[in-house]
Amino acid sequence: MAVALVAEGLSGKPYSGDVYVFRSKRSDRLKLLVFDGSGTVLATKWLEDGSFAWPPVREGTMQVTGRNWRCG
């Protein structure tokens, strides 16, 4: 399902090795989707306290840096 969302909804290439990150509305949960060469990996992270800081969305996507992975 997530692969179809990347391919059809985002016009992305889910088997390219790029990491696709999805967040919850509350910004305290993440799902990461990546193809590692032998299969697709889906990882989930929940924060007990705080939320992730996000850069602005431009043209439907955003660039995420290491700083964004810390809670804000």
Helix (H) or strand (E) holding 4: helix 2-4
Domain boundaries, the chain: 2-69
pLDDT by residue (tens digit) across 61-70?
777 776 666 6
Could you tell me the pTM of the whole model? 0.69
What beta strand segments (E) does 1-72 contain?
A: 20-23, 29-35, 40-46
Tell me, what's the pLDDT at 18?
87
| DSSP state at residue 54 | -
Cα-based angle 9, 15, 20 (whole degrees, multiple of 5): 55
| DSSP state at residue 2 | H
Q: Which two tokens stand for residue 28?
A: 């305290």
pLDDT by residue (tens digit) across 50-62?
887 777 788 777 7
